[in-house]
Amino acid sequence: MATASNIQLSLAHCGEYHVPDITTESAVMGSEVLQENHEMHHIFFNQSGFHNHIAHHIPTVFALGASPAAIRKHYQNNKSYQRPSKTSHRDVVRDLHDPAVFLKHLGQEAYYSDYLAFYQDQIDLHGCEEAVNNCLLRDDECANAILVRMYAGFLHPIIHLGFGIEFNQPAIVAEALAQAAVHEGWIGPFLLETEKAAAGTQVSRSLVEILDQIRTDPKLRMAAHWDDDNKVRDGILARAPNEMVKFAAQWKVGLDELEAKTAEMTNAAVYFTGGAQHPPKQTKFDFYYMHCVNSSIFFSSFLKQPWITAVNKVRLLQFKGWLDLAMYTSRRAPDPLLDEIVHYQPKHPEGSWDEIFKRVVEHEDDGHASKLVRALKHGQQICKPHNVDPRFRVKDNMWLNLAHMAIDSVEDTGDPWVRSAGFDEAWEKYEDRPRAQL
């Protein structure tokens, strides 16, 4: 049984998108390695706060049909560089019940194990659903401090939460809450100020309309500089915060349009991510934009949870859309080139989705590629009913082409992900395509 300290994958919870015929043997192996990761490894694999992706990678390849041997191989490849976990301090865990202490220790990596134990206790005491509602969605000072941090670290905490909820794993939910707690909170003012601004404006536009507008605003588009350490924090939110809030607040979600707006968010993220190419350079996906796509699948999972109120589903989704807009802008808002998707020439043009799944399940990385392919397939499914809607610019065969682009690009030469695709400097190290592909 899956608990706050025990991970147990099951065939009853194989993911928002999964292939048929997943085996019990793969569930057993996935549970074994995830449990070892939970007990033995820290949430960050270095002191710079780089994220341990094992709890993302293993459920993803499990959902895509990985064999027990493939699951074990991926785990072995990625456990080698992880940091060991640390023991929690029961006196600190006890003191975290005091809101002043709880807030004081936020953003400090040294307290990760203490926050983890705190959240495990909350799940053991109240159950996972009530613990998430109390600790994340209650809309008080402590819960809001965690909620905004869910969108920090290029969305890693909410990705982690998504896996915990999607695969019904309370231990991974506890990890996600603790991970959020030790992230910095600088994204919070942007999200909360945008929330206030959205409530006070009658203007309402689609995400792709706002993307188009951002590209016409020189101050906002040029706010991030190549040498900024963090292009959202030090670029967009330092040099054009008011402009970013003004544009983001124009995207709003009504209580009666959650499904359509979730599909819209997914389509827009795929549009600016897949279209951020730089011909004649090799086809590559932007590392930061890719996280906007990879996280999109979980918002469909959130919608299906009856214990999350509609008001909180709206809040979760709006924060995601606003963060995506800031992320897009922070990489110099490149023109999304749909022709690059429509006319893409795959390395294996006869390849089906199933064949792409097989390739990405065997691909050796930390899980980013398999997450991207699974999110693309899910996106195709939820966006299909909206093919004639002009807010949905990715449609029809573009989805399969995008999956080909994803697996071909990570198998190609050079770094698998371009970093900050709107800057010419990001593409300097990549090769030009063969002339036949131009």
pLDDT on residue 435? 52
Task: Give tens-digit pLDDT for 237-253.
Answer: 999 999 999 999 999 99
pLDDT on residue 48? 79
Between vectors from CA 266 to CA 262 and to CA 272, what angle results, nearest 5°?
Answer: 145
Distance CA 128, CA 115 (A): 15
Mean pLDDT, residues 345-370 taken together: 97
Helix count (H) and strand count (E) of the chain? Answer: 23, 2
Residue whose tokens read 């509602």: 133
Distance CA 115, CA 109 (A): 10
pLDDT on residue 196? 98
Split at pLDDT 50, 70, 90, the class of 437 is low
Using an 8 Å Cβ cutoff, are 399 and 377 in contact? yes
Using an 8 Å Cβ cutoff, are 38 and 32 in contact? no
pLDDT on residue 438? 46
Q: What is the mean pLDDT of the chain?
A: 97
Distance CA 391, CA 383 (A): 11
Whether the per-residue pLDDT at 63 is higher than 50: the answer is yes
pTM: predicted TM-score of the whole model, two decimal places: 0.97
Residue 35: φ, ψ to 5°:
-65, -45
Task: Give tens-digit pLDDT for 180-193.
Answer: 999 999 999 999 99
Task: Give tens-digit pLDDT for 67-81.
Answer: 999 999 999 999 999
Closest CA to 23 of 181, 31, 295: 31
* DSSP element (H, E) containing 285: strand 285-286
